[in-house]
Amino acid sequence: MVLPLHDGLFALFLTRDNLFNSWALRTIMDVLTDILGQLFLYVYSITIQICMFILCLWHDRRAENLRAALSRTGVNSGAVDDVMDRAK
């Protein structure tokens, strides 16, 4: 007998008389869920690393702009380096 549709995702595939199919399908779904979860975490981790890389590049660019602005004001390079060290 086929399970009613409201009994879940497995209703189209399972019968009450065939426990092996139920166990096998649930195991396959668990494995797929684990794989998709790991894939999500991997993509999330890569996305965070890319964002951090972009932020670091942006920060370095701002630091170089600050260094150029300070050097245009006529401040000697030692003072510029001191300011840059304190800004980090």
Domain limits of the chain?
7-86
pLDDT tens digits for range 20-64: 556 777 788 888 888 998 999 999 999 998 888 888 878 777 777
* pLDDT at residue 1, as a whole number: 45
State the angle between helix axes of 77-87 and 19-72 in degrees (0 to 180), rounded to the nearest 10: 150
Within 10 angstroms of residue 72's Cβ, the number of other Cβ atoms is: 8
pLDDT tens digits for range 54-71: 888 787 777 777 777 766
The pTM is what? 0.46
Greater confidence, 35 or 15?
35
* pLDDT at residue 43, as a whole number: 92
**In sequence order, which ranges of 1-88 are alpha helices (DSSP H)?**
19-72, 77-87
